[in-house]
Chain A
Amino acid sequence: MRKMITNLIGLAAASLIIVALYMAFLYAPTEVTMGHVQRIFYFHVAFAWTSFIAFFVTFAASIAYLVTRKKFWDTVAASSVELGIAFSCIILTTGPIWARPVWGAYWTWDPRLVTTLILLFIYTAYHILRGAITEETKRARYSAVIGIIGFLDVPIVYFSVNWWSRTIHPDVIKPEGAALAPQMLQSLYVALCAVTLFYLYVLLRRIRLEELRDEVSELRKKVLKES
């Protein structure tokens, strides 16, 4: 049952990604001042959004682990962090590609850029820490604490960097509505859905992988005991 759902999500993600690519490159109109480079925006924002979801899932799963002590939650937290790191790297690559022609520089010390970078550092440390601990429950407990503290730190980092430097990052989606042509907005929403589904699919596969690893190590123990 779970396998079927996973496959369905994967299929939906794959087809939506094709649609999103079509919309980003062909359907959405070319931006007047920035030109074609602006088309990177649809996937950039989608990955930014999803990486934040990924870290939030880690935060929630970390709390769930400390409360229930079920290994499943630790697996979810660890899997989601890996995706969050990968997506953050995508944001920090697609952003500069766009920024170079538009801002004239690959990198500025803008609050959003710095926050994303710090986020990447926090969760990379989390990932390194997991690799350094072999004992299973200890690893789960320690990483859960880091997962919680890391996430709660994000708003404080954002606000302090915000006061420290002025933002030049465009604020496209504002509370009063998006300042975009309707076709652009539709493309963005499709890209958002596509990447979110992609995240969900890879997350489920990653959790399954961890479960299979556990099964293998159980079997190995059993065989070793018998022989």
Chain B
Amino acid sequence: MAYFSKVLHICMKDLKVEVRSKERIYSMMVFSLLVMVIFNFAFDPGAEYIREVAPGILWVALIFSATLGLNKTFAAEIDQDCLQGLMLSPMDRTGIYFGKVISNILFSLIISLLTLPFFAVFFNIPLLDVLPQLVLVISLTIIGFISVGTLFSAISVSVKGGDMMLPLLLFPIEVPVIIAAVKATGMILDGAPMMDYSMWLKVLTLFDVIFVMIAFVTFEYLIEE
């Protein structure tokens, strides 16, 4: 129990920093909108095929903005040697990881929920009826993306040119998650019953479970000094 309260502390600290500075949420949101606007130029907005490419556009926007946020996860801790302080705090190192994962998931979820109405309006796609299913897929995807992403951002932050390293490392690993997310979203938008895309939900859940466990085991190797 004490472990969870410590994890919560780390998470609350990140949230508090964000509430005061607002730098992450702000830039993530603008970026995600920008991506959708740019896709509007790439694909003819009135075209019929837009419903087929829409899930892809949504996920490019969400994944890219999440990556933007991940880059900042540990960057703030490098300043003034905050990471050193965190490591000296009397808690299991994995607590730092889980605290950061939870705060990152919250940030990305907020961005996703804020992006959805714009997505619906920009591409003229009715979302209200399928919102619960969509939120389920988004949550599962974000957990999978952030769990590995937070781990890798601990690597990229202490590497020269790390901002560039993070997507290079992260995107190939996340291929199953991205495929599953795009496929499931497409089926949901088409109004398919859950039976049809339950396989993709399983892929997402499997990925989440496996990589949260791997991250739990490997994180302490990344921040020992």
Chain A residues packing against B (C-beta within 8 Å): 66, 118, 121-122, 124-126, 128-129, 132-133, 138, 141-142, 144-146, 148-150, 152-153, 156-157, 159-161, 163-164
Residue in chain B with minimal CB distance to A117: B172
B172 touches A121 (CB 8 A): yes
Main secondary structure of the interface of A (DSSP, over half): helix
Q: Find B218's partner among A129, A148, A163 (CB 8 Å cutoff).
A: A148
Find the residue from A145, A150, A157, A164 having the highest chain B CB count within 10 A: A145
| CB contact between B165 and one of A129, A148, A150, A157 (< 8 Å): that residue | A129
| Most B C-beta atoms less than 10 A away, residue of A148, A153, A159 | A153
Q: Would you give the 0/1 interface string for B119-149, flagging 1 where the beta carbon is closer than 8 Å to chain A?
A: 0000000000000000000000000000010
A164–B179 contact, CB under 8 A? yes
The reply to whether B155 and A149 contact each other, CB–CB distance below 8 Å, is: no
A122-B175 Cα distance, complex, nearest whole Å: 11
Choose from A132, A150, A164 the contact partner of B173 (Cβ within 8 Å): A150
| Interface segment out of the listed B14-22, B54-62, B202-210 | B202-210
Contact A160:B179 (CB < 8 A) given known A129-B159, A133-B159: yes
B199 within 8 A of partner (CB): yes
Q: Are A141 and B221 in contact (CB under 8 A)?
A: yes
CB-CB < 8 A to A161: which residues of B? 175-176, 179
Q: Within the assembled complex, what's the spacing in Å between the Cα atoms of A121 and B171?
A: 9
| Docked-complex contact A142 and B155, CB < 8 angstroms | yes
Measured between beta carbons, the chain B residues less than 8 angstroms from A150 are: 172-173
A148/B214 contact (C-beta < 8 A), A128-B165, A141-B222 known:
yes
Contact between A152 and B214, CB atoms less than 8 A apart: yes
Chain B residue with Cβ nearest A165? B179
Q: What chain A residues lie within 8 Å of B180 (beta carbons)?
A: 160
Q: Are B179 and A149 in contact (CB under 8 A)?
A: no
A66 to B222, CA, bound (A): 11
B203–A66 contact, CB under 8 A?
A: no
Pairwise interchain contact A152-B169, C-beta atoms closer than 8 A: no
In the assembled complex, the Cα of A157 lies from the Cα of B206 at a distance in Å of 12
Give the residue name and chain of the B residue nearest to A139 (CB).
B159
Contact B172 A149 (CB under 8 A): no
In contact, B176 and A157 (Cβ under 8 angstroms): yes
- By beta carbon, the residue of chain A nearest B217 is A148
Q: 8 Å CB contacts to A: which residues of B182-197? A: 183
Contact of A125 among B172, B179, B183, B210 (CB under 8 A): B172
Complex: chain B residue closest to A145, CB-CB: B218
Q: How far is the CA of A53 from the CA of B172 in the complex (A)?
A: 20
Chain A neighbourhood of B160, CB < 8 A: 132-133
Q: Which residues of B contact A153 (CB under 8 A)?
A: 172-173, 175-176
Q: CA–CA, A141 to B165, complex, Å?
A: 16
Closest to A148 in B: B218
Whether A149 pairs with B158 at a CB distance below 8 angstroms is no
Which of chain A's residues have a CB closer than 8 A to the CB of B63?
A: none
> Do the beta carbons of A145 and B151 come within 8 Å of each other?
yes
Are A144's CB and B169's CB within 8 A?
Answer: no
